[in-house]
A and B are shown apart, each in its own frame.
Chain A
């Protein structure tokens, strides 16, 4: 939804062909209102995980919006941490000391969109890159640049990332 709001805002500003701050604010407000009003009639697979589960009422919509914003903030923060982490490994660790490995992590997220977001998040965050998802979509395999404790890595991803993704895209 938030993607839709941003797209509508950009379209709004392009059509106004003026990119001032008031235009941005008005555009955001108008787009938000349009999506809020139209959400009942839209079956956006991205919002209900493709399960056709819920039609969203406006309160739910507002709550999801807040959650998405929080999620994007969390993702950006994780990306910053990841960069510093990799920089530290590149600069200060002796190559012979790092312990790379491939770890299997059981998946609870079911939807395509959810798995995609989780896989992207894993890649963008400290020391891990998603490698593949099993055909039955129950397991995701990640490459970890420095495995000190495979169990801890697994728990960290399940608790921190998957839980957040689950809330948005089950």
Chain B
């Protein structure tokens, strides 16, 4: 096996492991808000690993440039998705896990209008 192959395998393995962890997190964590942590974060490194593996495997700059662009777009958009999920859940009153210890947002929302009072 060449160095390129080993590097490709290593990167793909890292990516897949983190995506697998995100999946475990989905099953194991107690409520929507904590699950967003698992998918929003472990997911990003998972995708990054796999895309980098693709770039290394092809070994040319066209592929590398495309993959890096993809990673950049993913890193820019994934947090927005996580944030929107959390916010929508909070506004529609999705229950928090019983072990939740603190909620500085309690009573701050104008639920009718979906606006946050200052």
Contacts and interface: CB of A to CB of B under 8 A. Distances in A.
Interface residues of B, number: 47
A138 B116 CA distance: 12
Contacts of B61: 19-21, 24
B25 A86 contact: yes
A39 interface: no
Interface of A: 10, 13, 19-21, 24, 79-80, 82-83, 85-87, 89-91, 95-104, 119-120, 122-124, 127, 129-136, 138-139, 141, 143, 145, 147, 150
Q: Is the interface of B mostly helix, strand, loop or mixed?
A: helix
A102 B116 contact: no
B86 A129 contact: yes
6 contacts: A86-B38, A120-B76, A127-B37, A132-B83, A132-B105, A147-B101
B65 interface: yes
Interface of B: 18, 21, 24-25, 28-31, 33-34, 36-38, 40-42, 44-45, 60-62, 65, 69, 75-76, 78-80, 82-83, 86-87, 90, 96-97, 99-105, 108, 115-118
A102 B117 contact: no
B38 A90 contact: yes
Contacts of B60: 19
Contacts of A95: 28-30
B42 A101 contact: no
Nearest to A9: B65
B22 to A, nearest CB: 8
Contacts of B80: 120
B41 A86 contact: yes
A91 B24 contact: yes
Given A86-B21, A100-B96, A119 B79 contact: yes
Nearest to A136: B118
